[in-house]
């Protein structure tokens, strides 16, 4: 090999190593600016003809939601019983969702549980879980009736209707 060719080869190698170092040192586009899971911001209630409505306002997105009639409400994570006014109980679970943002900051600052004196069947509402991507809310109701749970967009929210 000639000296000139060796110098060019060394220069090219140094250039490739420098480019690799620059690419490796450049931070990737951060996903922290875009929240990954919908976060609870507010819980609202309302009396309607034939049903009570509980609305869970979210920052964005549409989590999967399910509900079940349960004998008692259980706090996610601890397994402790959540004492709530009511003769019967409905547990609603949304995933992925939480009551905090991706940095762990609380997005829902309302009460953990509250009574709903203005409603006919729903007596109380409780935030029963914000654990590992699962958001759980419990309802204490006067009597068993139909329940309908669904999501809406613009703005994002979970709607829980309980018949009178």
3-state secondary structure the chain: CCHHHHHHHHHHHHHHHHHHHHHHHCCCCCHHHCCCCCEEEEEEEEEECCEEEEEEEECCCCCEEEEEEECCEECCCCCCEECCCCCEEEEEEEECCECECCCCCECCCCCCEEECCCCCCEEEEEEEEEECCEEEEEEEECCCCCEEEEEECCCCEEEEEEEC
As a whole number of angstroms, the distance between CA 85 and CA 121 comes to: 11
Cα R_g (the chain), whole angstroms: 26
**CATH architecture for residues 38-163:** Sandwich (2.60)
How many residues would you count in the chain? 164
As a whole number of angstroms, the distance between CA 41 and CA 108 comes to: 4
Lookup result for tokens 């762990």 = 104
pLDDT in the model for residue 102: 87
The residue ranges of every structural domain in the chain are: 38-163
pLDDT in the model for residue 45: 98
Which residues contact residue 4 at a Cβ distance below 8 angstroms, ignoring those fewer than 6 apart? none
pLDDT in the model for residue 77: 83
As a whole number of angstroms, the distance between CA 5 and CA 59 comes to: 61
Which residues contact residue 114 at a Cβ distance below 8 angstroms, ignoring those fewer than 6 apart? 124, 125, 126
pLDDT in the model for residue 16: 46
This prediction's pTM:
0.78
pLDDT 10s digit of each residue in the chain, 164 long?
555 545 544 444 554 455 444 444 445 544 445 668 999 999 999 999 999 999 999 999 999 999 999 999 999 988 999 999 999 999 999 999 999 998 999 999 999 999 999 999 999 999 999 999 999 999 999 999 999 999 999 999 999 999 99
């Amino acid at each position: 090999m000639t000296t000139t060719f060796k110098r060019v080869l060394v220069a090219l190698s140094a250039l490739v190593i420098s480019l690799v170092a620059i690419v490796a040192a450049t931070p990737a586009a951060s996903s922290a600016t875009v929240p990954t899971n919908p976060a609870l911001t507010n819980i609202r209630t309302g009396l309607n003809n034939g049903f009570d409505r509980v609305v869970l306002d979210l920052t964005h997105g549409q989590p999967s939601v399910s509900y079940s009639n349960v004998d008692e409400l259980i706090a996610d994570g601890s397994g402790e019983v959540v004492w709530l006014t009511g003769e019967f109980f409905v547990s609603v679970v949304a995933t992925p969702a939480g009551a905090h943002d991706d940095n762990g900051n609380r997005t829902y600052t309302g009460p953990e549980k509250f009574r709903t004196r203005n409603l006919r069947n729903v007596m109380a509402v409780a935030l029963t879980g914000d654990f590992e991507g699962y958001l759980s809310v419990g309802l204490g109701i006067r009597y068993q009736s139909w329940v309908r749970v669904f999501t809406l967009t613009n703005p994002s929210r979970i709607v829980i209707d309980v018949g009178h």
